Amino acid sequence: MSTAASDREVSSGDLGAGPDEHVLVDVKGLKVHFPIKRGVIFDRTVGHVYAVDGIDMQIRQGETYGLVGESGCGKSTFGRALLQLEELTAGSVHFDGEDIASLKGETLRRRRQDMQMVFQDPLSSLDPRQSIESLLLEGMQAHGLVKDKKAAGTRLRDLLKAVGLPPAALKKYPHEFSGGQRQRIGIARALSVDPKLIVADEPVSALDVSVQAQVVNLLEDLQEQFGLTYLVVAHDLAVVRHISDVVGVMYLGALVEEADADALYEEPLHPYTRALMSAVPVPDPTVEDRRGRVLLAGDLPSPANPPSGCRFHTRCPWRQESRCDTERPELRVIHTTGRAADERPHKVACHWAESIADGTLAPHEVDPSGGEQFQNPGNPQGVTGSFTGPASVTEVN
Ligand SMILES: Nc1ncnc2c1ncn2[C@@H]1O[C@H](COP(=O)(O)OP(=O)(O)OP(=O)(O)O)[C@@H](O)[C@H]1O
Ligand code: SF4
Ligand SMILES: [Mg+2]
The secondary structure of 360-390 as a DSSP string is SS---B--TTS---B--TT--S---SS--S-
Distance 236 CA to ligand 3 centre (A): 12
Helix (H, G, I), strand (E, B) or coil at 300: coil
- The number of the ligand nearest the C-alpha atom of 75 reads 1
pLDDT over 70 for what percent of the chain? 83
Determine the pLDDT at residue 391: 36
Buried/exposed code over 218-234 (b: 16+ C-beta within 10 A; e: otherwise): bbeebbeeeebbbbbbb
Distance 74 CA to ligand 1 centre (A): 5
Determine the pLDDT at residue 241: 87
pLDDT over 90 for what percent of the chain? 62
Determine the pLDDT at residue 292: 62
Task: Give mean pLDDT in consecutive 10-residue pieces for the chain, a chain of 397 residues.
Answer: 46 45 95 91 88 97 96 95 95 95 88 93 87 94 89 94 96 95 96 96 91 94 96 89 94 97 92 86 62 75 95 95 94 82 89 93 79 38 33 34
Distance 182 CA to ligand 3 centre (A): 19
Within 10 Å of residue 337's Cβ, how many Cβ atoms?
Answer: 9
Amino acid 221 reads D
Determine the pLDDT at residue 104: 87
For ligand 1, atom 16, which residue shows the shortest CA distance?
Answer: 74
Is residue 68 left, alpha or beta, with left meaning phi > 0 and alpha meaning psi from -120 to 50? beta
Contact 229 CB / ligand 1 (< 6 Å): no
Report the nearest atom of ligand 2 relative to the CA of 311. 4
Distance 76 CA to ligand 3 centre (A): 4
Q: Which of 312, 355, 356, 361 to mutate to test the pocket of ligand 2 (most atoms within 8 A of CB)?
A: 312
Give the pLDDT confidence of 77-133 residue by residue, as tens digits: 999 999 999 999 999 999 999 999 889 888 988 899 999 999 988 778 889 999 999
Q: Name the residue ranges covered by the structural domains of the chain.
A: 125-193
- Residues near ion ligand 3 (Cβ under 5 Å): 76
For ligand 2, atom 6, which residue shows the shortest CA distance?
Answer: 350
Determine the pLDDT at residue 39: 80
Alpha helix segments (H runs only) across 85-208? 105-112, 122-125, 132-142, 149-162, 179-191
For ligand 1, atom 25, which residue shows the shortest CA distance?
Answer: 71
Ligand 2 shell residues, CB under 6 Å: 271, 310, 312-313, 316, 318-320, 324, 329, 350-352
Residues in Cβ contact with 213 at an 8 Å cutoff, skipping those fewer than 6 apart:
none
Contact 30 CB / ligand 1 (< 6 Å): no
Determine the pLDDT at residue 397: 31
Straight-line distance from the first to the last Cα atom of the chain, in angstroms, rounded to the nearest whole number: 20
Q: Which of 77, 80, 199 to mutate to test the pocket of ligand 1 (most atoms within 8 A of CB)?
A: 77
Neighbouring-strand partners of residue 38:
44
Determine the pLDDT at residue 374: 37
Within 10 Å of residue 369's Cβ, how many Cβ atoms?
Answer: 11
Within 10 Å of residue 252's Cβ, how many Cβ atoms?
Answer: 23
Determine the pLDDT at residue 167: 95
Contact 253 CB / ligand 1 (< 6 Å): no
Task: Please return the burial class of 361, using the count of CB atoms within 10 Å of its CB with bins 0-12, 13-18 and 19+.
Answer: middle
Determine the pLDDT at residue 369: 67
For ligand 1, atom 4, which residue shows the shortest CA distance?
Answer: 34
Within 10 Å of residue 159's Cβ, how many Cβ atoms?
Answer: 20
Determine the pLDDT at residue 101: 87
Distance 59 CA to ligand 3 centre (A): 19
Contact 77 CB / ligand 1 (< 6 Å): yes
Give the pLDDT confidence of 235-268 residue by residue, as tens digits: 888 889 889 999 999 999 999 999 999 999 988 9
Distance 324 CA to ligand 2 centre (A): 6
Within 10 Å of residue 125's Cβ, how many Cβ atoms?
Answer: 18
Tally the C-alpha atoms within 13 A of residue 53's C-alpha that lie toward its C-beta: 24
Determine the pLDDT at residue 233: 96
Helix (H, G, I), strand (E, B) or coil at 114: coil
For ligand 2, atom 5, which residue shows the shortest CA distance?
Answer: 350
Read off the pTM: 0.87
Distance 84 CA to ligand 3 centre (A): 16
Task: Give the closest residue to 256 by CA, choosing from 271, 245, 242, 244.
Answer: 271
Could you tell me if 378 and 263 are in contact, meaning their C-beta atoms sit under 8 angstroms apart? no
Could you tell me if 240 and 397 are in contact, meaning their C-beta atoms sit under 8 angstroms apart? no
Distance 283 CA to ligand 2 centre (A): 29
Contact 34 CB / ligand 1 (< 6 Å): yes
Report the nearest atom of ligand 1 relative to the CA of 302. 29
The secondary structure of 202-259 as a DSSP string is STTTTS-HHHHHHHHHHHHHHHHHHT-EEEEE-SBHHHHHHH-SEEEEEETTEEEEEE
- The number of the ligand nearest the C-alpha atom of 313 reads 2
Could you tell me if 318 and 356 are in contact, meaning their C-beta atoms sit under 8 angstroms apart? yes
Could you tell me if 117 and 79 are in contact, meaning their C-beta atoms sit under 8 angstroms apart? yes
CA distance 301 to 30: 21
Within 10 Å of residue 388's Cβ, how many Cβ atoms?
Answer: 12
